[in-house]
Structure 1
Amino acid sequence: MTLPAAPRSIVGPDGQVALGRFCGLAEGIDWRALAPPYRRSAWWRRFHHKRWHYVALACEDVFCAVAIVDLGWTSTAFAYVFERRARQLIASFAQNGLPGLSARLADHGAGASRFRFLASQIDIGPDALTLRCAGFEVDALFHGGAPHLLAVGTVAGGSVHATQKSAGMALTGEARVGGRRIALHGGVASVDYSNGLLARETDWRWACAHSRTLGFNLQAGYFGANENALWLGGALIPLGAARFAFDAADPMAPWRIHTDCGLLNLQFTPEGLRRDDKNLLIAASKYVQPIGTFSGWVKADAKGPAIAVEALLGVTEEHRSRW
């Protein structure tokens, strides 16, 4: 199945939304222009508009993830470096921002986002990441890769949501932890930009991993199968609903993941994890992101041969938010 090219703007001049899955990046996401039935008041949007910009850097020795999140009424950011041989986080940063001041999120996936809090700063662009925190720095450049996925859909209890996911991109640069310099050359970068009007209660299960020739993004929860996709040999292939089988009480146990379309069947073996549970009275989140490897098989189409996936580095995630 070939996906249509991404529209220049997700919301048209008539206020209607381009729902569906597309190949490429939209140049604008402006929910203020929505027409019924998706239009919401400015006050409602203030508290339901959520955006995040996430970058994963996967290397033989380390896995690094960085995210900036705009919750509408406040913001937050996190970053970590996971050392695979030691099976532990060797650097970690998490900081809530000042409302309206700390975070500036891009309006679309090809834009730039930033986070500032005291001496800490994060900058995410379409082809670069810069991070400066106490004892923890990253300078990374990435390029190339197969076409992005753009997924636009409705959200129960909310309104509409859009997400833009990259394939695996060539990575260069380095991370610096304390006095140690960690080369990122030869690794793979991937970017997730999401922007939507979400429900007060939102939850999802997620899995994502990439090499330069094979990768996938899978989600089960608030956005259904909209963003499920496989990148294979430069082609972008939409996938059906994803099924996650795992032990929520023991996320370090193996996970089983498959899609209803029959094009993906994988086992995930965790090597470590990042966990963050917050209760801010008016808001709360419960989050766990195991880091590890995927093995199994994928197919380009139902009648095609199974293509082996072996020790592909990536993450899974369980996330529940009241925001």
Structure 2
Amino acid sequence: MQQLIQANGQPLYGVFEQTPQRINFRDFDFRSPMGRKLGALSKWRNFHQFQYFGLISPTLIGGCALAELSLVAVAFVYLYHPPSGRMLERRFKCPLGLGARFSQTPDEGVCELRQGRNRLRLENTATPLEKRLLVQLDDGTCIDARFSEAQPAFQPMSLCTPSAVNGWVYARKVAGVRCSGQVQSALGDFDLRAIDAFAHHDWSAGYMRRETFWNWACLSGEVQGQRVGLNLSCGVNETSFTENCFWLDGELLKVDSVRFEFDRDHPLRPWTIRSYDGQVSLRFEGQGLHQERLDLGLLASNFKQLFGRFSGTLRPHGGTPLHIENSWGFVEDQYAKW
């Protein structure tokens, strides 16, 4: 697929076998809810995108996100060391995106934020099909992590769904892939391959609801000799199609809508996550939490990302149930006003 937006100004909707080479949002026929054509300024103001790279292992957990929200670019990075319970985290904000750049090509491009001696960079390359995270912070923290979707072969979740009355959201998700590289920090130095680290990745963009929320769950690791990844969401990509799925040795298995049950006032208490079709029944117990609150009037966010352990069962249609026991992963609870 060359471009997401078609000649008639509308996106192609659905779950795709191939990743669009370009998210050509400027070609979108963007209109007000009453049908009035909107110009370039409105297109820029209402288009948002973000990219996330996560690391999972029993020895080290990490996450890095970059987001472009037109009026501001934001980023965070954190590392958590489960054996000691120690955590490092940093946050960055760039008004009007100054110091940041974002590519609209999911499989070939760079998203980057620079602030002082700090650099957060996400590189996507099509040949070979790889994702890479580079972080250099002024406190000496360095992350150089990468994974391949080609060796062994992997089927990403790639889809576009309608959003509200006049928008759309494109997302490309990956989980259940082995990760290599190095991490140097105050928590210690780590060889990601040696500690058997896994990765997950999210590339999302579009015209999202003015006020929105989502819950999300992801795990990435090895279970009973299989590479297992999980991507479940409630609140965003659910109009006509969903992004819900899990992977077994790189094979994508679609899942119906899901329900998250948890205590908003005490998010570290256990969560339960179940799918309507019975393929997913999981319990999540949080071990740590990264959270951010931002209220700038026009823009606001209340974000909680928890890392911890999943237990339960995945039941692929026509396949053997897979029992999950204390597998590391993430859940999120987020409110956003764009």
Deviation at 1:179, TM superposition (A): 7.8
Aligned to 1:317: 332
Aligned to 2:200: 190
Rounded to whole Å, the distance in 1 between the matches of 2:72 and 2:214 is: 21
Pairing partner for 2:145 from 140, 144, 147: 140
Aligned to 2:21: 27
**RMSD of equivalent CA atoms:** 1.9
C-alpha deviations, 1:78-104, integer Å up to 9, x for none? 000011122341x11101014242221
Q: What is the 5 A alignment of 1:7-22?
A: 7-22=1-16
Aligned to 2:133: 129
Deviation at 1:157, TM superposition (A): 5.2
Q: What is the 5 A alignment of 1:147-296?
A: 147-156=155-164, 158-178=166-186, 180-185=188-193, 186-211=196-221, 213-224=227-238, 226-296=242-312
What is the letter of the counterpart of residue 204 of structure 2?
Answer: S
Aligned to 1:67: 65
Unaligned runs of 5+ in 1: 1-6
Rounded to whole Å, the distance in 2 between the matches of 1:134 and 1:118 is: 8
Q: Is the Cα contact below 8 Å between 1:254 and 1:269 reproduced in 2? A: yes
1:99 aligns with 2:96: yes
Deviation at 1:41, TM superposition (A): 2.9
Q: Secondary structure at the match of 2:45?
A: helix
Q: Is the Cα contact below 8 Å between 1:52 and 1:193 reproduced in 2? A: yes
Rounded to whole Å, the distance in 2 between the matches of 1:228 and 1:13 is: 29
Rounded to whole Å, the distance in 2 between the matches of 1:175 and 1:118 is: 21
TM-score by length of 1: 0.92
Percent of aligned positions that are identical? 24
Rounded to whole Å, the distance in 2 between the matches of 1:168 and 1:120 is: 29
Rounded to whole Å, the distance in 2 between the matches of 1:70 and 1:313 is: 29
Q: Secondary structure at the match of 1:94?
A: strand
Closer, same or farther: CA 313–240 of 1 in aligned 2, 3 Å? same
Rounded to whole Å, the distance in 1 between the matches of 2:26 and 2:40 is: 8
Aligned to 1:3: none
Unaligned runs of 5+ in 2: 125-130
Aligned to 2:128: none
TM-score by length of 2: 0.88
Q: Secondary structure at the match of 2:316?
A: coil
Q: What is the 5 A alignment of 1:50-65?
A: 50-65=48-63
Rounded to whole Å, the distance in 2 between the matches of 1:291 and 1:154 is: 30
Pairing partner for 1:44 from 42, 45, 63: 42
Aligned length: 315
What is the letter of the counterpart of residue 128 of structure 1?
Answer: R
Deviation at 1:235, TM superposition (A): 1.4
Which deviates more from structure 2 when the two are superposed, residues 100-109 or residues 74-83? 100-109
